[in-house]
Amino acid sequence: MPSDRSPAAPSTSISLIDAAAAATADAAVALSLGLADFAADGQIAPKIKMRGAEALARMAMLQLNHPGEIDLAAARAQAMCILDRRHGAYLQAHLPALTVDAAFRELIDHAIAMADRVAATERALAH
């Protein structure tokens, strides 16, 4: 006999954490690319600027649309895992693991701080 109950919807908090972590990791990568581009050429290519702006905008929009709903510690930890999965092996072949982890944390912290400032400015302008 079929059940009258529909399957449970996926947890909103998990999908918010996933979205926040992905946006944070993307912004951290864009920051690192921007730094490397500037160090090499004295300027940041428009494509890299756009990549960073889009990732930071995603982070800020998540904050604005879901105030207090995102487990930031979980999103930060997941962003570290994403960066490690994408880039850890290559970087650890050239640098000590602690240096790579510290760099990932630093980039994530900067991305979060920038998105926080964008969201705060948007909140202030809305009132």
**Residue 12's pLDDT band (boundaries 50, 70, 90)?**
low
Does residue 4 surpass a pLDDT of 80? no
pLDDT tens digits for range 40-72: 999 999 999 999 999 999 999 999 999 989 999
% of the chain surpassing 70 pLDDT: 89
CB contact set of 53 (below 8 Å; sequence gap of 6+)? none
Q: Are 111 and 27 in contact (CB under 8 A)?
A: yes
Q: What per-residue confidence (pLDDT) applies to 18?
A: 94
List the chain domain ranges: 13-126
Q: What per-residue confidence (pLDDT) applies to 93?
A: 82
If one counts every other C-beta atom within 10 angstroms of the C-beta of residue 94, the result is 8
